[in-house]
Each structure stands twice: as C-alpha cells, then as structure tokens.
C-alpha cells in the first residue's frame, strides 16, 4: 500500500509537471507570436514614416523651387522703382500727402492708371531689404474682400502701394469730418460684421495666426460702396519690434486713440495673441454705435446700461436706432473688451455669428426702407426726410450705385492715424 501511494504521488507529480510544461509552452508560443506581431508593426510604422518623410522632402523641394522661381520673376507682387514712385507723387509733394501714419506718411497718386495710396515707412522703421521683401511677399498673398489689397512695393526704399479707398477711414465717417453724410445704423451693423469676418480670416492664417496689433477705426477703410476693409495688416512685421511696439502702444492721436485699444494683458505681460485683437474690436464696436472717443468708453457704456440710460449713449445723428438690437450689440462689445483674455468670447463661435444676425436684420430693414421710399417718391424736403435721404444714399451706395457725385477726398487715405 505504501508503494502504491508513492507511485500515485509520483504519477500526480508527473502530470502536474506536464501541465506546467504545457502552460509554459503556450506562454512561450504567445510571447513569440506577440514579438513577431510587434516586429511587423514596427516595420510597417517605419515604412509609413519613411513614406511621410519622403513626401515632406519632395514637397519642401517643390516649395523651394517654386519660391525661387517666384522670387526670380517677381510674380508675387508688383515691384516699383523709386523713380516711378517719385514721378507719381511729384517727388513726394505735400499736395499729394493725404495722411501721416505712425509708420510714415501716406500719398495719393496714380500708378499704372490705377488710383493708389503709397505708404512710405520712416527711415527708423526700415527693416533689412531681404526681410522686408520676404514679408511683403507673404502679405501680398493675403486676399480677402475685407482686407485692403497690397498692390506692390519698392523694397529698396520701404514703400508700400495699396489700393485707394474712396471714402476714407471709418473714424472720419463716424465723426463726420468734412461734413460727410451720417452712416445709418444699418450700414454700421453691416460694417461691424465685415470687420469681424476679415479679422477671423487673419486669425485663421496658416501656419500661424496673423495678429493685427493695431485695430481701430482709423485702420478700417471704406471703398466707394461703403464696403469696409482692414488696413495696415501685418505692418508690424515689416518693421523692427522696438519700432512696432512704440507706434502701437504709445502713439497718441488727438482723441487718445491708439493707446485705448491695446489689450491690458498685452501691456502687462508683453504676450500677444488673437484675443488682443478681440479687445480692440470691442472698443471699436462701441465707437461705432456711440461715435464717441475711446477713452473710458467701456466704463461709460456699462454705467449707462446699469442706470437704464443706454439710449442716450447712442449716436444722436442717427434718428431711428433699434435700441434693443443696439443694446445687444453693446453688450457683445463689452464682453470683447473684458480685462482678462479668458473672459473674452471666441471670435468665430460667439462674436461673428451675432454680428451676422444683426447684419441680416439691417439688410432686411434696408430692403423694406428702399421699397417704401420708392413707393412714396415724395418731393418734400423736411428735416426728417433729409435725414432719411442720407440713409438711403448710403444704402444705394452699398448696393453698388454711386448716388453721390461728390466724395470726401481730403480724408480718403490708407492707414492714416
């Protein structure tokens, strides 16, 4: 019996050993299969990476080749000689000067049978010629309906040639300099949406966002149909940072303009971002409905809303403000002008959709007004009808009709501050 017990124990031990061996064999097989799979996966990843690197290398070579051809043939922008510019501006005659911006004077003239505005950068704002030419090539590729078009340049002398905007700056039109007509609230709502659209285009520029840095009514220009376009885009990239910061942050205009549009966090930290432009946009929007200087404007509007006197803040030159929509407009502007960046709304997701809804409302009002005005066709010239006539002129201009033969030319310049 003892012998049988020993044999049984030995048999059980042998079976256990065999089971353990089978388990170890299965584990070893699974490990080998996993290692083989990992090896194949690694080979596949290496092959993919090699294909991506080859593709990137080919694209880089093509880009360099294309860039070299474009640089050699000057296809990106029209290059003008200093002799051509001197002839067009009559040797930079004061009679041709239409503005004096922070970066230099602006002249109105004709080049290639086209009305243009020439901005001449100050000598201390001149970059190296190669860097200036590189930046101009980038800026000349920016095409958007709400961006002032850069037509050409003279890199050797730091001259930029832009399309000329017949109705000057938004600042001049808001403050009615030169006795120009009042901008109707419908036009102001449309212009605000156009500015937001152009600004979002800048912020979505690849490979990195393009921050304007100096957004204000003086840098919003209006063409002959009162379509708004953002000017001085990327100008801070053409000059040394020290000059750009001085011009943007500390240049004071007659209404203390530029200083009041700067992002407070940018002033404190020196960190620039797209939300810096959103702050400037907020101040600009408040000016569009109040036609008041920017100094302390956010505080005054907030106080008026709290006291229930917001309607008194609206531009009195416009007789038919839709107060509820204007209040919505003002609250959005105040959100944009929050002190902290994280409290400001997203331009593409929040700001622009609301501005577009207000623009749609304004366009509906324009259509109804035009139809009613055509049906009435009354010859009376009372004060109220005269104001409506001014609004109607602006609306017809928006539709593409040049209703007025005389345009204010003294303030029709680009980027003048």
In order of 146, 158, 274, 416, the CA distances from 217 in angstroms are 14, 25, 18, 10
Task: Report d(CA 53, CA 208) in Å as an integer.
Answer: 22
C-alpha of 298 from chain center? 22
Residue 221 near residue 148 (C-beta atoms within 8 A): yes
Q: What is the DSSP string of 11-44?
A: HHHHHHHHHHHHHHHHHHHHHHHHHHHHHHHHHH
What tokens does 366 get? Answer: 């324009």
Residue 394 near residue 226 (C-beta atoms within 8 A): yes
Residue 141 near residue 196 (C-beta atoms within 8 A): no
Residue tagged 């299969």 (tokens): 33
In order of 38, 376, 387, the CA distances from 383 in angstroms are 85, 16, 6
DSSP conformational letter for 96: G
CA proximity to 337, closest of 289, 299, 280, 293: 280
Task: Report d(CA 35, CA 260) in Å as an integer.
Answer: 65
Residue tagged 């930029």 (tokens): 160
Task: Report d(CA 354, CA 328) in Å as an integer.
Answer: 9
CA proximity to 298, closest of 319, 284, 312: 284
DSSP conformational letter for 147: B
Is 214 an annotated catalytic residue?
A: yes
What tokens does 281 get? Answer: 């946009």
For the four alpha carbons of 258, 264, 266 and 268, in that order, the dihedral sign comes to: positive
State which H helix or E strand residue 59 sits in. helix 2-73
Of residues 172, 214, 232, 263, which has the active-site annotation? 214
Question: Which positions are catalytic?
Answer: 214
């Amino acid at each position: 019996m003892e012998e049988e017990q020993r044999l049984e124990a030995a048999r059980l031990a042998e079976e256990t050993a065999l089971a353990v061996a089978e388990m170890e064999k299965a584990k070893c097989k699974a490990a080998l299969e996993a290692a083989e799979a990992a090896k194949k996966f690694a080979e596949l990843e290496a092959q993919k990476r090699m294909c991506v690197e080859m593709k990137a290398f080919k694209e880089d070579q093509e880009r360099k080749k294309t860039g070299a051809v474009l640089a050699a043939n000057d296809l990106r922008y029209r290059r003008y000689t200093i002799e051509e510019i001197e002839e067009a501006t009559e040797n930079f005659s004061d009679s041709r000067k239409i503005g004096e911006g922070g970066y230099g004077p602006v002249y109105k003239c004709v080049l290639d049978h086209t009305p243009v505005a020439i901005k001449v950068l100050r000598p201390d704002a001149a970059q190296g010629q190669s860097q200036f030419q590189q930046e101009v090539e980038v800026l000349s590729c920016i095409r958007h309906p709400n961006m002032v078009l850069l037509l050409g340049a003279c890199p050797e002398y730091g001259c930029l040639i832009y399309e000329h905007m017949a109705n000057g700056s938004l600042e001049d039109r808001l403050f009615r300099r030169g006795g120009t007509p009042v901008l109707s609230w419908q036009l102001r709502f449309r212009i605000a949406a156009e500015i937001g659209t152009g600004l979002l285009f800048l912020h979505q520029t690849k490979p990195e966002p393009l921050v304007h840095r100096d957004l204000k009514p003086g840098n919003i220009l209006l063409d002959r149909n009162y379509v708004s376009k953002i000017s001085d885009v990327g100008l801070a990239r053409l000059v040394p940072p020290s000059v750009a910061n001085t011009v943007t942050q500390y240049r004071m205009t007659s209404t203390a303009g530029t200083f009041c549009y700067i992002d407070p966090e940018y002033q404190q930290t020196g960190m620039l971002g797209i939300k810096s432009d959103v702050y400037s946009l907020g101040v600009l929007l408040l000016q569009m409905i109040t036609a008041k200087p920017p100094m302390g404007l956010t505080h005054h509007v907030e106080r008026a809303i709290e006291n229930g006197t917001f309607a008194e803040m609206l531009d009195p030159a416009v007789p038919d403000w839709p107060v509820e929509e204007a209040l919505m407009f003002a609250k959005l502007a105040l959100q944009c002008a929050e002190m902290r960046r994280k409290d400001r709304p997203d331009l593409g997701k929040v700001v622009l959709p609301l501005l577009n809804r207000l623009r749609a409302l304004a366009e509906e009002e324009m259509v109804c007004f035009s139809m009613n005005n055509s049906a009435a066709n009354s010859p009376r010239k009372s004060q109220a009808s005269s104001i409506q006539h001014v609004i109607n002129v602006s609306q017809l201009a928006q539709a593409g009709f040049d209703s007025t033969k005389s345009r204010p030319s003294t303030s029709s310049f680009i980027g003048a501050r």
